[in-house]
Structure 1
Amino acid sequence: MELKPGSRWKSAVCTTEVVIVRPSKGSVSLECGGHPMVALADTAPTGLELSPDFSGGTSVGKRYFDDEAGIEVLGSKPGKGTLGVDGRPLTIKEAKALPASD
């Protein structure tokens, strides 16, 4: 799985789609709903079901990251699956607080 900045990926088990913001430092498996994601232009495999452990959902417009892998993705279409990398769920990246203006 070659994750390049700007490449688009979709879930094999739900409607989730993401755009790669920052690729991983090495070779990883980008997952959603407990299964590897596929390139947007490719046909998703059939017969797969959403894993109960990875069914927390994905939001549009949120950034998700994993420090260990160094990957960051942007949710471009919401879905029922939780994003993950190599079996670990990704974390939502919180917005940085702006400095107070006095």
Structure 2
Amino acid sequence: MKPGTKLKSAMCDTEVMVIRSGAGTIECGGAAMGEAKPDAIGTPAPDLAAGTLMGKRYVDAAGTFELLCVKPGKGSLSVDGVALSIKDAKPLPASD
């Protein structure tokens, strides 16, 4: 998957843009995300229903994957079943 690809969830309204990607399946709410809009939207798995926030970047622990949420939804993002976390903002340098 190349950077700039838009993915849509089959479980909720979540849409993300790929910033960085490695080998693995990007999922939302427990189901794989795809480039095409699904015909019917399902229900996210209870343990993967924490939601996504628009404008936030989501990363895995190794930093292999980075996704930008462009449309929020009820499902949580994961890669091969491992949940992604929100990327922390870089601290600004102190100005004296």
TM-score (norm 2): 0.92
**Residue 26 (structure 2) aligns with:** 30
Provide runs of 4+ in structure 1 moved above 2 Å: 45-49
Residue 93 of structure 1 is matched in structure 2 by 87
| TM-score, reference length from structure 1 | 0.87
Residue identity matched to 1:75: C
Match of 1:38, SS state, is coil
| Code of the aligned partner of 2:27 | E
State the alpha-carbon separation in 1 of the partners of residues 55 and 42 from structure 2: 26
Per-residue Cα deviation, 1:7-47 (whole angstroms, up to 9, x for no partner) = 000100100000000111x2x110000111111xx242647
CA deviation vs aligned residue, 1:63-95 (integer Å, no higher than 9, x gap): 001133701000000000000000011010010
What's the Cα RMSD here? 1.5
Residue identity in the other structure for 1:37:
M
Identity of aligned pairs, percent? 48
Unaligned runs of 5+ in 1: none
